[in-house]
């Protein structure tokens, strides 16, 4: 039995995607249609999503399994070249973390994670066309913005968000063309 089929036997199949138990000590692989993802890579995306939208008194990104959604979208709805760029950017990100902190992203403190991801962001209050103050490569910046974009997309299109935060109505039954508003809030 080769290593791959041995791992497959260990795996739990979730929605067609093979996910490995997180407790496995080495670095097992989840198999997607277009790529394989190591445990460390899964952890990285998981922890980035939770840093971008953390758990507070309401669910965070991974409470809603947004990390699984990110991998699904990368696998099904992303061009081959963009997938390649994503993994290249991910490698660069891993190197950046190691160079800066001598440990992996998952081992960083909450504050360290925020500080690092904030280097991908523009300074608060800067002009719309301003660029973040870093010299990151296209792939590295792209990796962050893909994870962020899919985190926000998965979160705001989740059942939780659309039933508890910004309620989606399947049958509005009305169009009010003139809704009064006070201080930019529903009056």
Residues forming contacts to other proteins in the complex (CB under 8 A) are 51-54, 56, 60, 72-73, 76-80, 114, 117-118, 121-122, 124, 148, 152-159, 161-162, 165-166, 168-182, 184-186
The residue written with tokens 């913005």 in the block is 145
CB-based contacts of 111: which residues, under 8 Å, 6+ apart? none
Is the CB of 25 or the CB of 175 nearer to other proteins?
Answer: 175
Cα–Cα distance for residue pair 5/149, rounded to 1 Å: 34
Contact 101, 93 (CB under 8 A): no
Q: Least Å distance between CB 98 and other proteins?
A: 21
To other proteins, the closest distance from the beta carbon of 24 in angstroms equals: 27
Q: What's the chain's length in residues?
A: 187
We find the least distance from the C-beta atom of residue 68 to other proteins, in angstroms, to be 12
Given the complex with other proteins, which of 39 and 144 has the nearer CB atom? 144
DSSP state of 103: S
What are the E-state strand segments in 15-114?
Answer: 17-19, 29-31, 36-38
Nearer to other proteins, 22 or 131 (CB): 131
Output the smallest distance, CB 51 to other proteins, in A.
Answer: 6
């Amino acid at each position: 039995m080769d290593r791959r089929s041995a791992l497959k036997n260990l795996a739990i199949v979730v929605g067609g995607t093979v996910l490995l138990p997180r407790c496995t000590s080495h670095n097992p692989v989840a198999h997607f249609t277009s790529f394989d993802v190591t445990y460390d890579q899964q952890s990285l995306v998981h922890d980035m999503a939770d840093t971008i939208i953390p758990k507070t008194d309401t669910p965070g990104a991974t409470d809603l399994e947004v990390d699984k959604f990110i991998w699904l979208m990368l696998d099904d709805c992303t061009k081959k070249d963009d997938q390649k760029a994503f993994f290249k950017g991910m490698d660069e990100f891993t190197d950046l973390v190691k160079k800066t902190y001598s440990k992996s992203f998952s081992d960083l403190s909450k504050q360290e994670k925020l500080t690092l991801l904030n280097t991908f962001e523009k300074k608060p209050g800067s002009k719309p066309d301003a660029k973040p103050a870093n010299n990151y490569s296209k792939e590295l910046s792209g990796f962050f913005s893909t994870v962020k974009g899919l985190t926000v997309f998965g979160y705001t299109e989740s059942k939780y968000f659309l039933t508890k935060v910004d309620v989606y109505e399947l049958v509005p039954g009305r169009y009010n063309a003139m809704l009064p508003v006070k201080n930019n809030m529903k009056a």
